[in-house]
Structure 1
Amino acid sequence: MEDPWDMAENMLSDVLVSNVYNQFFKNNSDLFKDKIVMDVGCRSGLLSLLAVEAGAVKVFAVGNMRSARYVTKALGHGENAEVFEPLKGCISQIRLPCGLKKVDIIVSEWMGHALFADSLFRQMLEARDKWLARGGHIFPNVANLYIHGIAQSARQTMNKNLRPVLLTDEYVNQQSVITEKSLLKTINLTTSKYNESFTVDFKMKALRKGKVSGCMLYFDIGFINARGQLQKLFATGPDTPKTYMKQTLLSLEDNALDVADQELLVGRFSMKLGSFAPRGVEFSLGLRVHK
């Protein structure tokens, strides 16, 4: 399961997200101590390294072998060197060493653009169903996907034949936001199904008079523990510090909407997981002024 979407450098250079992960593992070392952990994707290798440092008795990594080599090198020949073990191959083919059948914890930087695009969502569920012990944990395991109306044009990065929705990934600041946010989807990897395709109707109120030229998708991410307590980790919204993950913009282009202050917009958003590309998704957006 070599990860072709190589964001390791961007992840590791993101001080904010790295510090958030580092603080979580330090504050929850009792969760990882003497546990068997699997890092699905091993995108930057950071979660593997932090799990080792938090006291895991074994950390397996599947996915990015280049990042796995970085973790191996970082551990050197110290007392924790044998704790970390990369496993090559697809999840469906891999067998755990030493007769092991289950792991206690699955960690992963699984999130993609707009949460699902180029994500490890399906791989996480496959690993969960194959290896996670009863009562085990997934980190991070919860996410919310939001939509905002924006008053700036996105670059056209897709073929015109794919209209009316054009996609791009950018960072949008708070000044470009023209509507309230609306929650589209909540995901919990502990209970999610393989086909999380969905269609949802939503409403957004205009914050000022102007032209809505597109919509912005972003997410927040967190961890719910066994007691049902939520710990928020980070978000990719316009009112939060920048992270390595940008927002995804859906451009209305020629169908931009003129809105008055406090005017209500209604829309329908669909997301379908790709059937041909394992990490591809299809977005559909309809938006109009409510009369």
Structure 2
Amino acid sequence: MDSEETTNGGPPVIKMDQDWNSDGDDWSEEADDDAEPTKCLFCEEVSPSVESAIKHLQVKHRVDLLELKRKFLMDCYSYIKMINYIRINKSQDSEFRNADTPFWDDKKYLKPGDYEPWLTFDFESFGENIPASQEKQKLVYAFDDFESMKALVLRLEDELKDKNTLLQQAAQDIGTMRSGFQNLVEKEPNPETADSKSKESGNSVGSIPLERDSNYFSSYSHYGIHHEMLSDEVRTSSYRDALLGNAEFLKGKTVLDVGCGTSILSMFASKAGAEVVVAIDNSDIIYQAMEISKTNNFENIKFVKGRLEDTELPIDRFDVIVSEWMGYFLIFEGMLDSIIYARDKHLKLGGTLLPNRCNISIVGHGDEARHQHYISYWKDVYGFDMSCMQKEVLREAMIDIAKPEFVLTEPVVIVDYDLMKVDVNYSNFSFNFNLLVLKDGRMTSIVGYFDTFFDLPNKVWFSTSPEAKTTHWKQVTFFFKDPVDVKKNDQIKGTITCKRSIRDKRSLTVRIKIFDKDYTYNLD
């Protein structure tokens, strides 16, 4: 129901109850007798009341006062400032449709001016009685008649046409850029072929629309990440030793380098005697790779820009597929999906994957200083209890160096991948572990790492264990909320479960049950 109050002898303030009538009309207005003509804020139209003027703003100008109120947490003072701002500056409705900030919020606009019906409106109570479930419908019920509805539909159609025009122009620009690159690369993605190819699985990264996956590839376009990887002696020298140390094996073979980056592996393979190397990468670093290859006089490396799952290669089947695809905790980023696709679509019968085997291990760790720095810290921050922050910190698996002196248990392999057999469900597994405690201590976390194997005539392998030489992968730490005392020869039982994130196919969710606690971590 509407009601009215008199404020200090001034004009009546109309309170508007915004319950919807059952017959589809919007606000009931029992105070119509006291309503006064109200000029629109943006045009010359005069409505019979403030309430009618509000509806006029919604329909004719697409300015929603209730939305502005909630978006900017407006009170009556902010409302007064806004009305005075509009009147003084003769503002356009577009300013308020696209407002990102309450730009009218200046105390100079609180100064009273000429009598203004808009300022008699009870803005504080505005919107209090609209059910949340009906809020999305308020525009539908705000139409006075069919002509108003028709006007809004036409306006929305015009807006949609404008957006479609922009999208078409963007598509043309992308096409122009793509055609400009055609003379730089061996092959460009072929959309028709891509559509006909069966993706390995709807759960694989190859099923992500390319436009949504662009951030992943663009992250590899900057030189910084390649400097970090190339500077990782364990990583780079292991691949070098696997390829150059097995030159007799590689001699005369065709090689596919998936995610070639700067082309370091392609050059190792070519130097080892490969007949031809095809290097594919979807990031812009491939243009530097072309120049690097040319500078170093490699003539048998062919470069292809594109995502493997969407791209035709100049050679259909290869003797060897090589890639440095491993992420944090081995399987973060999901690039193994692309290796599985390459294996099934482009590896010859009897061909070789490099590396061909990997595993993930966990170990108990007890670095109390690190736990204090990241977890316990929140219990007392300059005398204030911020323990609620612990929940947020504990949800995130931490990528950091786990110091070897704080290893408390023997390691346990929780999953072992034969890359010639694994499928795209590799990231979904569960393992019941039993950790043997090697020394007394206070256990603060589980630490995860991986090992990588090249089972060639001259075998090569490397580890990212806390007790091995540090790599750019470091280790993944899953902190406990509180440290737990453990004794030498204790058997610590628990379960670790890993699955692909629902929100992002390249991310992981890890659940660990241990010491009668149940923790869930995100690796993204």
Q: Same fold (TM over 0.5)?
A: yes
Instruction: Trace 1:158-177 onto structure 2 (pairs within 5 A).
Output: 165-177=395-407
CA 72–146 in structure 1, closer or farther in 2 if over 3 Å, else same: same
The residue type equivalent to 1:194 in the other structure is: V
Does residue 335 of structure 2 align to residue 140 of structure 1? no
Closer/same/farther in 2, CA of residues 232 and 284 from structure 1, 3 Å limit: farther
Residue 21 of structure 1 corresponds to which residue in structure 2? 239
2:468 corresponding residue in structure 1: 240
What does the per-residue CA deviation read over 1:233-258, in whole Å, with 9 as the maximum and x for residues that have no partner? 2111111111121100001123x321
Amino acid in structure 2 at the alignment position of 1:47 = L
- Is the 2:321–2:352 contact (alpha carbons within 8 Å) kept by the matching residues of 1? yes
Structure 2's unaligned 5+ residue stretches are 1-209, 376-388, 517-524
Structure 1: give runs of 5+ residues left out of the alignment: none
Aligned partners of 1:25, 1:224: CA distance in 2, in Å?
A: 11
Match of residue 249 from structure 1: 477
Distance in 1 between residues matched to 2:341 and 2:330, nearest whole Å: 18
AA paired with 2:326? M
Q: Are 1:203 and 1:267, in contact at CA under 8 Å, matched by a contact in 2?
A: yes
Partner of 1:69: 287
Distance 1:66 1:31 in 2: 32
What is the CA deviation profile of residues 57-110 of structure 1, one whole-angstrom value per residue up to 9, with x for unaligned ones?
Answer: 2211222544433332223267632x112212222221122xx32111111111
Q: How many Å separate the matches in 2 of 1:31 and 1:277? A: 39
**Which residue of 2 is the match for residue 88 of structure 1?**
305
Mapped pair 1:106 → 2:311: no
Aligned to 1:216: 447
Q: Please tell me whether the aligned partners of residues 260 and 279 of structure 2 are also in contact (alpha carbons under 8 angstroms).
A: yes
Between Structure 1 and Structure 2, the one with more strand by share is 1
**8 Å contact from structure 2 (residues 242, 459) kept in 1:** no
What root-mean-square deviation, in Å, do the aligned CA atoms of Structure 1 and Structure 2 show? 2.3
The 1-side partners of 2:438 and 2:253 are apart by: 49
- Which has the higher mean CA deviation after the structures are superposed, 278-287 or 213-222? 278-287
**Letter of the 1:244 counterpart:** H
The structure whose Rg is larger is: 2
Is structure 2 residue 406 aligned with structure 1 residue 189?
no
Shift of the 198–67 alpha-carbon distance from structure 1 to 2, 3 Å rule, reads: same
Letter in 1 for 2:312: R
The TM-score normalised by the length of structure 1 is 0.88
Contact 2:257 2:266 in 1 (8 A): yes
Aligned structure 1 segments of 4 or more residues deviating by more than 6 angstroms: none
Q: How far 1:274 sits from its partner (Å)?
A: 2.9
The DSSP-based 3-state class of the residue aligned with 2:461 is: strand
Contact 2:334–2:505 (Cα < 8 Å) also in 1: no
Cα–Cα, structure 1 residues 282 and 133, in superposed 2: closer, same or farther, change >3 Å? same
Q: Secondary structure at the match of 1:74?
A: helix
Identity %: 26
Q: Write the distance in 2 (CA, Å) between the matches of 1:274 and 1:30.
A: 42
SS of residue matched to 1:25: helix
Identify the structure with the greater helix proportion: 2
Which residue does the alignment assign to 2:273? 55
Deviation at 1:261, TM superposition (A): 1.7
For the Cα contact (< 8 Å) 2:242–2:460, is it kept in 1? Answer: no
Q: Following the alignment from structure 2 to structure 1, what is the Cα–Cα distance between the partners of residues 282 and 352?
A: 22
Counterpart CA distance in 2 for 1:36 and 1:8 is 25
SS at match of 1:37: strand
Distance 1:104 1:199 in 2: 34
Structure 2 CA distance for partners of 1:67 and 1:188, relative to 1, 3 Å:
farther
Question: CA 1:268/1:43 → structure 2, altered by over 3 Å: closer, same or farther?
Answer: farther
Deviation, 1:273, is 2.0
- Which residue type is aligned with residue 252 of structure 1? F
Structure 2-normalised TM-score?
Answer: 0.50
